[in-house]
Chain A
């Protein structure tokens, strides 16, 4: 299944959006995870957190209506809904570490079959820092990794992460343009595949061993 990055991201964002339940508090990471907000079903009301200090984050403001006092965790101008709240960083991370955030969606450099995640450093090459990622992954009730299945041909879903970890054993689910996988005690369970791929292709593009679910489904996008 060959799709360009834009289409792949759209598939991933749509599928992740289906995981969000009415009434949940959700933190969407910068980049691809942010796109999930565009696909939340109309009948599902979720509250979005931005870890720099708000819940009830709204959409991007119209051009000319930006308020420089209201930005998201990526430094972009955003809005706040009329039921939202602002707070300081200590409160923000109490929400995160304290288990009040139901779902966090993040990207990954590598993720492995034990639910380990690497997404904050490539030693000697790129050292952006962990920001809030370690706290989010450690504290949120459910951790979803949303990423393209491979990176320029390199396999990202590993038997064991080679890069330094963001957190140990905290990932619950991996969603790519090809597949939906759940981290279980026995390993990675392949739950769904995209209609244009095959189990064989997913296995070929995944370094980790996959357990094929008896009820394997096609992604219902």
Chain B
């Protein structure tokens, strides 16, 4: 089974108004080619779920600077001046979620769990509008799962079935978002033959992946 396609197929899968999860941490481990495609298509009103909004000229930051997103659910926007500017102007809605909570909300959606019960954020602005529960004498927040229409995953190596390997710190959100979207697209630095990835080092099983595109990193 070969899931490798070219960018024209990826283009046909993306539309205005979609909710996208995108991998990467300050641009490390982000599918840059698909970001560039979204900018070229000039998609509008996207909701983007990601760790951070990177830098103005790198990774997810480019989408923000180009005005493709109407909302971002993230843990940090401080390294991208366009995020704060657009938020203040009112053209970008920013929902901040603590990093550990954000990843667990995504994992919960992708793992069939009804939510996350976490002590992080208790006694802060993060608890506003959320249910709190007391368990064994300690307060926790109930945080809701997060799903997306499409997950845009970076991989260092992928085989044609979609088995992914992530090098170094590029892994970050990538294997988790691959669980939580209706359609999962992988952009890889290298596409290897089936059998070349040792099953022991596969970090995302190919069964989760729908489409693969070879990136130019």
Contact = CB atoms under 8 A, between A and B. Distances in A.
Interface of A: 50-54, 67-75, 80, 86-90, 92-93, 96-97, 121, 126-135, 138-139, 164-169
Interface in B140-184: 156, 166-176
**A contact face: mostly helix, strand, loop, or mixed:** loop
B122 A168 contact: yes
B71 interface: no
Interface string B78-101: 110000100100000010101111
Interface of B: 25-29, 51-52, 55, 74-79, 84, 87, 94, 96, 98-101, 103-104, 107, 118-126, 156, 166-176, 203
Contacts of A74: 26
Nearest to B217: A68
A130 B173 contact: no
B175 to A, nearest CB: 5
B99 A51 contact: yes
A90 B119 contact: no
Contacts of A132: 75, 98-100
A121 B84 CA distance: 12
Contacts of A97: 100, 118-120
Contacts of A168: 122-124
Nearest to A116: B123
Contact of A75 (B28, B94, B100): B28
Contacts, number: 148
A93 B103 contact: yes
A72 B26 CA distance: 9
Contacts of B96: 127, 129-130
Contacts of B79: 75, 128
B78 A164 contact: no
19 contacts: A51-B99, A54-B169, A68-B28, A69-B29, A71-B28, A75-B25, A86-B169, A89-B103, A90-B176, A93-B104, A129-B74, A129-B76, A130-B96, A130-B98, A132-B75, A135-B120, A138-B122, A165-B125, A167-B120
Given A93-B103, A168-B122, A169-B123, 10 more contacts: A73-B26, A89-B99, A89-B173, A89-B176, A90-B103, A127-B94, A128-B76, A128-B77, A131-B99, A134-B98
Contacts of B76: 128-131
B28 A167 contact: no
A134 B118 CA distance: 11
A132 B100 CA distance: 6
Contacts of A69: 28-29, 156, 167-170
B172 A166 contact: no
Contacts of A138: 119-122
Given A71-B169, A165-B124, A96 B100 contact: yes
Contacts of A75: 25-28, 55, 79
